[in-house]
Amino acid sequence: MASGTFAESGADLELVGIQKRFPGFTAIEHLDLTIPAGSFFALLGPSGCGKTTTLRLVAGLEDPTEGSILIGGKDVTKLKPFQRQVNTVFQSYALFPHMTVLENVAFGLRRRKIEDPIGKAHEALVLVELDHLATRKPQQLSGGQQQRVALARAIVNRPALLLLDEPLGALDLKLRRQMQLELKSIQEEVGLTFVHVTHDQEEAMTMADTVAVMNKGEIEQLGAPEELYELPRTAFVANFLGQSNLFTGHVSGSTSNSITVDVEGTKITIPTKRAQRHKGEVTVGVRPEKLHLHKNAPKKEAGTNSLGPGRIIDVSFSGVSTQYTIAIPGIDKVTVFQQNTTFGPLAGEGAEVWVSWDVDHGFGLEDEPGATPRFPADADTASIAVQKRRALMSELEES
């Protein structure tokens, strides 16, 4: 650790073959990840998917069972947390209750013997608009203010890498939106590499340049938010990041630029380049807001998929849009989001309707149909452990 100096700029983070086992379960199976310098990276996943463990490994608060961690090309796997140019905004904030806000922020600077810690701490507090509360104790602040102090305490050190562990979890919706924007602008201002862990898909999509969706200790898909949303590759991503209508069927025909899937007698066409698999049983899907609702049977057109007739079994109003759940015989339920451009719902419960969508909006998943249920359970690490143990035991019995 260079004492008395700041990191020049953000640094690359590289995780190579990381595995983390705790007594009784494996939190991370095998993880390879490169996060380029200066980016805002989000690790998104349900609780227990290994995202916080990943963050703690990078911070040095846990040691990986296998693999190595590189920051700016330098192997830091063996370094202690205080030797790493990494700072964390903890989920619990972990502000020192016996120190004032100012001393909390100056703590890291003092430990590294950086000149003028108080002045720099004030600057950081100005950045998060809390300089007027510098002499207060953390417990005299509101949750949102504490969060900003935690942020100031981390960024004041100009770390090569800033880790954020669900820092907005305790805030109410409005404050969270405000903080999301603030975080984003701070990141642009100071140019650090941010790694943000969250289970809030909206937060991840608004803030990050790149999102990695994690499930059961592995990264399911990685990419820009739009890419992940518009072209999910697995059923988990399709359902964790927003909602999806998924249909499983056999590929019945293909042209040069599209494939057709036979779902219980209904043909659904998707573009070939948006499908991960082109043969056999495949799962295809479409986002609910891409669907159009029709009261009369739509004309069969090339370039459009249509389903129906079905019956509306649920209508729920959510302000900007209305969500219709439609039961179509043979196809199960389909969800449609319709923008509320007029007053009142387009059709009431029990009405007979058809749905259609542009072929270009469909996507094909890479999962083996049947291997994953249509809506996979939110598996926590404990149940993964149980599964692993069972697999291991059957393996032992065989040999």
Please report, as ranges, the residues that interact with another protein according to CB under 8 A: 1, 59-61, 80-82, 86-88, 90, 92-98, 107-108, 111-112, 138-140, 143, 146-147, 153, 157, 169-170
> Minimum distance from CB of 175 to another protein (Å)?
12
| Cβ–Cβ < 8 Å for 125, 153 | no
Nearer of residues 39 and 85 to another protein, judged by Cβ: 85
Q: Within 10 A of 97 (CB to CB), how many other CB atoms are there?
A: 9
Give 150 or 282: the residue with its C-beta nearer to another protein. Answer: 150
Residue 18: both structure tokens together: 């990381």
Are 388 and 26 contacting, i.e. CB atoms less than 8 angstroms apart? Answer: yes
CA separation for the pair 379, 295 (Å, rounded): 39
Helical pair 117-127 and 143-155, crossing angle rounded to 10 deg = 130
Contact 353, 309 (CB under 8 A): yes
Name the residue nearer to another protein (CB basis): 89 or 275: 89
Sheet holding 292-294, edge to edge: 292-294, 352-358, 304-317, 321-328, 332-339
At closest approach, how far in Å is the CB of 38 from another protein?
Answer: 21
Closest CA to 45 of 277, 250, 274, 222: 222
Cβ at position 100, least distance to another protein in Å: 12
Instruction: Rank residues 170 and 351 by Cβ distance to another protein and give the closer one.
Output: 170
Shortest reach from residue 94's CB to another protein, in Å: 4
C-beta of residue 294 within 8 angstroms of C-beta of residue 308: yes
CA distances from 100 to 50, 153, 232 (A): 34, 12, 46
Residue among 100 and 239 whose Cβ is closer to another protein: 100
The distance between the two most distant Cα atoms of the chain, rounded to a whole number of Å, is 74
For 170, residues 6+ apart whose C-beta sits below 8 A from its C-beta are: 143, 147
User: Closer CB to another protein, residue 137 or residue 184?
Assistant: 137
**Residue 225 and residue 196: Cα distance in Å, rounded?**
14
Q: How far is the CB of 104 from another protein (least distance, A)?
A: 9
Cβ closest to another protein, residue 105 vs residue 211? 105
CB of 16 to another protein, least distance (A): 22
Query: Which of residues 142 and 316 has its CB atom nearest to another protein in the complex?
Result: 142
For tokens 């409005």, the residue is 174
Instruction: Provide Rg for the chain, Cα atoms.
Output: 25
Query: Min. distance of Cβ 88 from another protein in angstroms?
Result: 5
| Minimum distance, C-beta of residue 351 to another protein, in the bound complex (Å) | 45
